[in-house]
Structure 1
């Protein structure tokens, strides 16, 4: 397990969870795009490249491979590859489902079952940057699969539920769309839960854990990032999030 708390330079600041010559694991800040987008705002990939260049005084361009993505409003554990070889092997781990991703989310309402598997076919509209559930076989659609488990309801607000989500596929907006489909939109989600959320609320979705074999040594790497102790996350004790880690189960 690697949970070091070195801090990168520059703004916004972010914690380094793991680093060696092949990998860089960080805690993504909320509301920072993973890569360049139409907003023109500073993006995580280029911020980290600049940080590596400065910290190691590297001349020329810095390589950093994007292995997986988090939506802009989502924070938590992410891994990047510092070499093309590592990027290729991690991408293969993703394709072969040997790359584990566990999230925690606060949802409105309570899922119909305490745990379950959701399978839908999703289609992304690039023009509006929205994802919809469509019938199987729809052109351009992709299968989306996740497992969820209810961790508890809030003692302060019984309309809020904390869930653990294990992604078996990595589709855009997957957790947000699939949880909304069972009547449980994410707290703060303005895109898929606007009828239940107020403008300005931060979406409550966090990348709790990323686990995979090291692309060179084969050792198991476990990245852990706990959500901040602020509303609505602080409706639950911190040890509940630790119990939600798959390496503790």
Structure 2
């Protein structure tokens, strides 16, 4: 088992300080995604992570021409944390297969308003996305265009009207965690889209990609990238030790 903890590695080969490197070899690049940067180009035209990483690799390794960087999974723009990118098309293809066969493991930490009805449980819903408004809703099973969404949650602690949850994501639907938790009366802290009635404009959404695990596409060794959220409110209501222990 290979584990890489956020903050435990120095930047590699003069890596730009824009990104914290969790793992890098000839096949993969694992980083901590900064919040509020889109993963890929969107309608805003703002700098996106995929192109920024291509530029960084091109500069560090003095590569001529275009640099390949494969997007294997996504995080919403306001969400930060561990992400893995493929530096070759073969690695991208094999990691995408891991996603399809559910051997690609994703764990999130989130802070929600209130407390779920049970200390742990599974949420299974059908979600329907409206591309025009970029919103997702829970709909009846069998609704045309609806997709099944499944996650497991564990309540790690509660304080000041909030709860810290560990989320094991079993499907990768758009806005899944945000929509499913809001649907049970526990919208995410700072989520303006699915919790506007209890959040204030300007609050940073409290959702973090804490662990990404997968078999290495070449060596087959199990790799885990681990990142903990910043110790700012509301994350600082719980210790880093609790958060670290929960995701391992």
- Asked whether the two chains share a fold, i.e. TM above 0.5, the reply is yes
For 1:238 and 1:147, the matched residues in 2 are separated by: 21
SS at match of 2:4: coil
Gaps of 5+ in 1: none
For 1:169 and 1:130, the matched residues in 2 are separated by: 17
SS at match of 1:2: strand
The CA deviation at 1:5 is 3.5
The CA deviation at 1:139 is 1.3
For 1:139 and 1:105, the matched residues in 2 are separated by: 30
**Does 2:23 correspond to 1:18?**
yes
Of 84, 97, 102, 2:102 maps to 97
Q: TM-score, normalised by structure 2?
A: 0.96
**Does 2:136 correspond to 1:131?**
yes
The CA deviation at 1:75 is 0.2
Q: Deviations over 1:47-90 (max 9, x none)?
A: 00000000000000000000000000000000000000000000
The CA deviation at 1:103 is 0.2
Q: Deviations over 1:26-49 (max 9, x none)?
A: 000000000000010000000000
State the number of aligned residues: 241
User: In the TM superposition, what are the counterparts of 1:1-249 in structure 2 within 5 Å?
Assistant: 1-3=3-5, 4-6=9-11, 8-9=15-16, 13-154=18-159, 157=160, 159-245=161-247, 248=248
The CA deviation at 1:117 is 0.3
Q: Deviations over 1:123-142 (max 9, x none)?
A: 11110000011111111111
For 2:143 and 2:50, the matched residues in 1 are separated by: 33
For 1:5 and 1:36, the matched residues in 2 are separated by: 28
Q: Deviations over 1:166-215 (max 9, x none)?
A: 00000000000000011000000000000000000000000000000000
Q: TM-score, normalised by structure 1?
A: 0.95
Q: Alignment RMSD, CA only?
A: 0.9
The CA deviation at 1:236 is 0.6
Gaps of 5+ in 2: none
